[in-house]
């Protein structure tokens, strides 16, 4: 049969949030159905989402590097404490459309692969996004429609990554940190005025109960990769590796399509619908106009990118300029540290 050279193995896998589509539709199915089927039952897996294991974030990558498990699906932002270069693919607010973002990932992929291999002892097999991260604000009155991005200066905005913090400060707002479980109460009570989260997570988390406006600026795509511990990877023969790479590529192509649809569905469900998941959230959507786009560009070029370049160093900034920077027309300063 065609599975003759496939090695028998049982992999231990940690996935992303157990209650989100990326796990439910893709990651879990990949390890419990797709791979076992494609390998004729030779490769099986014990796959668990990280939420079910009580993991919180950065230690997810320590686990795959140390071989506590074989495979991890992890956000690039979880790995940036060892490699600021990885943050470069998801800088807040610099890219506003899906096609450009996918091109940026393709351009930056060799750098991501190298960094993860060197710093995390792991092989990347695919890279994919989540629904986009947008701004969700409690402005008190849903009937207000003339909101511009500049109006958010001075607001308290809950962010969960450093680059989002940079964006918010570039906007002239203040960035606050809160545990996810506290965000909705905090938005209700005005501890925070706005929060950053994905379009579908905002709907699933019932943010519409406390949020009046969805400011549709894209502050990130939550780039995620599948990485296999290098010792595990190198213990596989070429056929086994190829099988995983082939299936991972199919996964990748499907999920990029899926996320765009999901992203739109998330925005619709939070606004007036149509929504096939339940009641629409009736938030007032704010589409960025030309003025807002100009402000986004200004924040990206003057705050987000330079601050990141400072963390990352000049060699790293130069690599970014030759890839993502060239694509979107922003140059990171390379005279820093």
Residue 272 CB, nearest approach to other proteins (Å): 24
277 binds other proteins (CB under 8 A): no
Query: DSSP letters of 183-231?
Result: HHHHHHHTS-SEEEEEHHHHHHTTGGGT--EEE--------EEEEEEHH
Pull the structure tokens for residue 239.
């056929």
Tell me the backbone φ, ψ of residue 252, rounded to 5 degrees.
Answer: -60, -45
Tell me the backbone φ, ψ of residue 178, rounded to 5 degrees.
Answer: -145, 150
**Helices within 75-196 (DSSP H only):** 84-87, 98-120, 162-170, 180-189
Residue 97 CB, nearest approach to other proteins (Å): 26
C-alpha dist (Å) from residue 62 to 7, 58, 144: 26, 7, 46
CA 331 to chain centre: 23
Query: Where do we find the tokens 């092989």?
Result: 123
Residue 213 CB, nearest approach to other proteins (Å): 18
Task: Choose between 107 and 184: whose C-beta lies nearer to other proteins.
Answer: 184
Residue 92 CB, nearest approach to other proteins (Å): 13
Helix or strand (DSSP H, E) at 128: strand 122-128
Query: Where do we find the tokens 């969805």?
Result: 214
16 in Cβ contact with 27 (< 8 Å): yes
Task: Choose between 79 and 134: whose C-beta lies nearer to other proteins.
Answer: 79
209 binds other proteins (CB under 8 A): yes
Residue 260 CB, nearest approach to other proteins (Å): 27
- Cα-trace Rg, the chain: 20
Residue 190 CB, nearest approach to other proteins (Å): 4
Q: Which of residues 299-318 bind other proteins (CB under 8 A)?
A: 311
Q: Site for other proteins (CB under 8 A): how many residues? A: 45
Among 5, 41, 189, 246, binds other proteins (CB under 8 A): 189
Task: Choose between 47 and 243: whose C-beta lies nearer to other proteins.
Answer: 47
Site string for other proteins, 136-175 (x = CB under 8 A): ------------------x-x----xx--x--------xx
Among 113, 151, 182, 239, binds other proteins (CB under 8 A): 182
Residue 20 CB, nearest approach to other proteins (Å): 14
Chain positions contacting other proteins, by CB under 8 A: 12, 46, 48, 52-59, 62-63, 66-69, 77, 80-82, 119, 154, 156, 161-162, 165, 174-182, 184-186, 188-191, 209, 311
């Amino acid at each position: 049969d065609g599975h003759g050279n496939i090695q028998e193995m049982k992999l231990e896998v940690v996935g992303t949030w157990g209650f989100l589509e990326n796990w439910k539709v893709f990651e879990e199915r990949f390890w419990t159905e797709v791979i076992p089927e494609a390998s004729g039952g030779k490769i099986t897996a014990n796959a668990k989402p990280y939420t079910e294991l009580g993991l919180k974030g950065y230690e997810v990558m320590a686990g795959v590097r140390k071989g506590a498990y074989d495979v991890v699906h992890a956000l690039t932002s979880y790995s940036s404490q060892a490699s600021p270069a990885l943050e470069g693919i998801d800088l807040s607010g610099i890219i506003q459309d899906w096609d450009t973002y996918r091109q940026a990932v393709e351009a930056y992929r060799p750098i991501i692969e190298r960094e993860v291999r060197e710093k995390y002892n792991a092989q990347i097999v695919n890279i994919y996004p989540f629904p986009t991260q947008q701004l969700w604000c409690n402005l008190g009155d849903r009937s207000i429609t003339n909101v511009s991005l500049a109006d958010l200066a001075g607001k308290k905005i809950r962010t969960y990554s450093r680059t989002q913090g940079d964006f918010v400060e570039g906007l002239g707002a203040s960035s606050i940190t809160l545990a996810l479980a506290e965000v909705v109460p905090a938005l209700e009570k005005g501890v925070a005025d706005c929060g950053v989260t994905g379009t579908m997570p905002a709907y699933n988390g019932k943010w519409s109960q406390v949020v009046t406006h969805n400011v549709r600026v894209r502050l990130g795509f939550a780039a995620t990769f599948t990485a296999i511990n290098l010792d595990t990877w190198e213990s596989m023969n070429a056929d086994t590796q190829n099988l995983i790479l082939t299936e991972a590529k199919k996964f990748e192509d499907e999920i990029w399509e899926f996320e765009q649809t999901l992203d739109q569905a998330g925005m619709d469900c939070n606004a007036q619908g149509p929504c096939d998941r339940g009641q629409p959230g009736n938030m007032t959507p704010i589409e960025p106009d030309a003025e807002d786009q100009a402000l986004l560009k200004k924040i990206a070029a003057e705050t987000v990118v330079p601050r990141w370049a400072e963390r990352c160093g000049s060699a790293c900034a130069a690599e970014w300029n030759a890839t993502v920077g060239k694509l979107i027309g922003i140059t990171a300063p390379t005279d820093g540290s």
